[in-house]
Structure 1
Amino acid sequence: MQKIGLIGLGRMGTPVCARLAGAGHPVAVWDVARDRETAALAGGARWRPSAAAAAVGADVLLTVLPGPAEVTAVMDDEVLAALAPGATWIDMSSNSPGAAAPVRERARRQGVEVLEAPIGGS
């Protein structure tokens, strides 16, 4: 089973996390809001102390963030360095195609596959 890192446990990220953990995937999570830790642990995920720690060892890293500014801020050099070549980063954030392009390019240069898969809802 693939190891999954998930960054962003808001309105969209929390149910994504619950489904993955419920299906038996090992999910390491982080969010800026520490109050989301309890629900993540109750759902079977493992809380990590930083975004980079959630990315360490992940075969797949999911980001489910509010927008491009948050993606750019979170996906810094430390997080990108935590992803091994061959890992996949799936950005499910509400994003605009060009806004996070420099971060995606840096990830690709280090051998990380990148998939843009924005989700939305109400």
Structure 2
Amino acid sequence: MKPTIAFRQLKQLHTPGHGCDHGSFCTTGVDAILKYSYSDEEGSRENLIRFTRVVAYRFTNEAHTKDFPSDAYDCIVEVVGSDWLKNLKEPTLWPFVRRHIVIYLSNVGCFELIAEDFEECSDN
């Protein structure tokens, strides 16, 4: 039996119940930006999430994502006891606290990062 992945919710995202319209990801040196858009009764909106000191990242399209708890959709969560984090080399020249951060955007997919931290910035 596959072990259950434990998540700790860090932040609920601003998204409507019907999900996002678009998501894009880019790196900016050692940081990364996730931009997502959605529509609500007031029109189209975009939000940005900036991740600091990104060590690794990966994306899985929504159609191919499995074993993801529904209560973590459209949230920023941290994986508790992450195997991915445990398997990365310990930093020696660049010591900082690393976290396995996951964001599952409805209608887009799952973004995973090993990073120091994040901040949500509204682009509205």
TM-score range, shorter chain: under 0.3
- Structure with greater proportional helix content: 1
TM-score, L = length of structure 1: 0.26
> Per chain length, whose mean CA-contact separation is higher, i.e. which structure has more relative contact order (CA < 8 Å, sep 6+)?
2
TM-score, L = length of structure 2: 0.25
Which entry has the higher C-alpha Rg, 1 or 2? 2
- Structure with greater proportional strand content: 2
